[in-house]
A and B are shown apart, each in its own frame.
Chain A
Amino acid sequence: MKVDLNTVKKIAHLARLEFDEAGAERMQRDMTQILDWEEQLNEVDTDGIEPLTTMSSEVNVLREDKVGEHLPHDKGLLNAPQKDSDYFRVPKVLE
């Protein structure tokens, strides 16, 4: 399946990735190749088969409603690119 350049740009935007012209074209080629390869799966007859949603056959893996241990505040903030003593800081979202 041929992926067009607009699709690449849309997906890049959704994934917050930026490509220059050459990069976008390379990405377009790669994505087309990947999809072409995956199209082999169309040869399998999947009529009447429920989609696979999980790799495990387990069901009802549930937790009781109990409070457990928290990540210490400073550890939680440790890897944040920007932070203060209380908050994660991100570039302003609303004007």
Chain B
Amino acid sequence: MLSAEIKDKYELVVGLEVHAQLLTQSKMYTSDSTEYGNLPNTHISVITLGHPGTLPKVNRKAVEFAIKMGIACNSTITRNNIFARKNYFYPDLPKGYQITQDKDPICVGGEVPVTLPDGSKKSIALTRIHMEEDAGKSMHLAGEVDTLVDFNRAGVPLIEIVSEPDIRSSEEAYAYLVEIKKLVRYLDICDGNMEEGSLRCDANISVRLHGAPEYGKKVEVKNMNSFRNVARAIEHEFERQIALVEQGIEIISETRTFDATTGSTSGMRTKEDLNDYRYFPEPDLSPVIVSEEWLESVRAAMPSLPRELHHKFVHEFGLPEYDAGVLTDSKEIALYFETLCGLTSNYKAASNWMMGPVKSYLNELTLHISDFPISATALASLIALIDDGKVNFSVASQKIYPVMLENPDKSPLQIAQELNLIQESDEGSIKPLVESVLADNPAKVAEYKSGKKGLMGMFMGQVMKKSQGKADPKVATKLLTELLEN
């Protein structure tokens, strides 16, 4: 372990390359299905297999998805798109080249604003986002002499999102990935599942002394299958590289692989040690020109973005940053909440309901908000029932809400009436209850009068019990105080 003193001398510099598998039905350049989990080598065609004389053709939707991501990141959209061949030999790449973009990626520049755990904000600049195709899947099974190859995934559309070396800590890397995942899910262009490989991340990591004008030699780390592991790999590399520099050993620019069980990285021994991709323009594809009209139609179809909803929740609904953060975590929750706020003006109550009873129900049953049985309208009328003083929050959340979950068609008022839960706020009917509680507990009353004011809670509890939870707590408190203080 390095001492904090040594570590503090160095600055971590990280850039991330994120591959996002696009949620299209068909592949990037052919009409093969992109569906996951089928029998090996069934979603293939002569184009996918790289047979001679075949012609690829670009999937319009994949282009639109890439443009959407660019708009969401404030990138400049390239109008004249030319594809390129990246040449290398690997068994999962049947053509011997990958069709990607080289000199003019569809999105140039842009940024991804992130919020760090301490609440501070930072913007990570993007270099580019380009379109390309996925490779097939190789399996290296133990005890098997061959490598087995499945081409179902070959040609599935990807965008590669390349950040500038703007990231300075593993927390920033984590926050950036969370934001990217949120964006692709809001845009509905990728399911963002890193464990299943629909979102993949490579990290370019280097270290330098604070204030050094040049970046250090960068090391590329691959094979991290979760956000947490990306952060771990960065931490490990930071220490490993500092230790080398401190010993005066030169860092080699290499590709390393992360091992999740040990939390460390090791150099990858590949048979291809010469990385020379010899990019050249793809002659089989004509240029894709993004007209003003096309760009505008994509822009017009953009959904609300997490930061837009966050801004709305804070500035229009007056919610704390924390609430807005939780509520915009997932698009579906955010949209449900937005609908709810169109039906009630008690935004803070709506937020409390979402973050409390609604979320705990969903978490408990590991359900998605789309499976949530209660409509926004019904939840809004439950909030109104409380605001009108008909029931209190604890009756609403403990008695009415569970019945609503079972009977989504019943209105909260109907349930409250059937269960005889409508709160009693008429002094005339609460007073006898209060009087009888006091009459039943003469000793406690005496204690209270001699100064044990803490007994008020006990009296309240008794009154609520006698009223079967229906007494308006405000009225009951007022009556108790009046009678006890006299």
Interface residues of A (CB under 8 A from B): 10, 13-14, 16, 51, 53-56, 58-71, 73, 76-77, 82, 84, 86-95
Taking a contact as CB atoms closer than 8 A, the residue among B148, B271, B282 that contacts A89 in the complex is B148
Taking a contact as CB atoms closer than 8 A, the residue among A58, A59, A68, A92 that contacts B146 in the complex is A92
Taking a contact as CB atoms closer than 8 A, the residue among B25, B31, B149, B281 that contacts A87 in the complex is B149
Among A14, A60, A73: residue with most chain B CB under 10 A: A60
A53 B146 Cβ-Cβ under 8 A: no
A60 to B294, CA, bound (A): 11
Q: A59 to nearest B CB, angstroms?
A: 5
B41 within 8 Å of A (CB atoms): yes
A70 B283 Cβ-Cβ under 8 A: no
A44 to B41, CA, bound (A): 49
Taking a contact as CB atoms closer than 8 A, the residue among B40, B43, B89, B140 that contacts A92 in the complex is B140
Residues in A neighbouring B328, C-beta threshold 8 A? none
Taking a contact as CB atoms closer than 8 A, the residue among A16, A62, A71, A95 that contacts B288 in the complex is A62
A93 B89 Cβ-Cβ under 8 A: no
Q: List 10 A-B contacts (CB under 8 A).
A: A14-B274, A53-B282, A54-B281, A59-B286, A63-B31, A65-B59, A82-B146, A90-B91, A90-B147, A92-B145
Q: A27 to nearest B CB, angstroms?
A: 17
Residues in A neighbouring B373, C-beta threshold 8 A? none
A67 to B34, CA, bound (A): 8
Residues in A neighbouring B274, C-beta threshold 8 A? 10, 13-14
Total A-B Cβ pairs within 8 A: 135
Task: Give 8 nearest A-B pairs by CB, closest first.
Answer: A68-B31, A53-B281, A65-B61, A87-B148, A89-B146, A62-B60, A90-B91, A88-B149
Binds A, one of B44-52, B118-126, B342-350, B381-389: B44-52
A80 to B60, CA, bound (A): 32
Residues in A neighbouring B30, C-beta threshold 8 A? 68
B191 within 8 Å of A (CB atoms): no
Closest to A50 in B: B80
Q: Which of B36-72 contact A (CB under 8 A)?
A: 39-46, 48-49, 57-63
Interface size on B, residues (CB 8 A): 53
Taking a contact as CB atoms closer than 8 A, the residue among B140, B150, B276, B283 that contacts A55 in the complex is B283
Taking a contact as CB atoms closer than 8 A, the residue among A54, A66, A91 that contacts B283 in the complex is A54
A68 to B82, CA, bound (A): 25
Interface mask (B2-13 → A, CB under 8 Å = 1, otherwise 0): 000000000000
Closest to B136 in A: A88
Q: A7 to nearest B CB, angstroms?
A: 12
Q: B413 to nearest A CB, angstroms?
A: 47
Interface mask (B253-293 → A, CB under 8 Å = 1, otherwise 0): 00000000000000001010010101001110111110000
A34 to B339, CA, bound (A): 69
In the complex with contacts A54-B286, A58-B286, A67-B60 CB distance below 8 A: no
Residues in B neighbouring A89, C-beta threshold 8 A? 146-149
Q: A86 to nearest B CB, angstroms?
A: 5
A90 to B148, CA, bound (A): 7
B281 A14 Cβ-Cβ under 8 A: no
Q: A66 to nearest B CB, angstroms?
A: 6
B75 within 8 Å of A (CB atoms): no
Closest to A64 in B: B60
Q: B258 to nearest A CB, angstroms?
A: 15
Residues in A neighbouring B148, C-beta threshold 8 A? 84, 86-89
Residues in B neighbouring A62, C-beta threshold 8 A? 57-60, 63, 288
Taking a contact as CB atoms closer than 8 A, the residue among B60, B82, B89 that contacts A53 in the complex is B82
Residues in A neighbouring B140, C-beta threshold 8 A? 92-94
B170 within 8 Å of A (CB atoms): no
Q: A2 to nearest B CB, angstroms?
A: 20
B41 A87 Cβ-Cβ under 8 A: yes
Q: B399 to nearest A CB, angstroms?
A: 49
Q: A20 to nearest B CB, angstroms?
A: 21
B151 A67 Cβ-Cβ under 8 A: no
A68 to B146, CA, bound (A): 31
Residues in A neighbouring B62, C-beta threshold 8 A? 65
Q: B200 to nearest A CB, angstroms?
A: 18
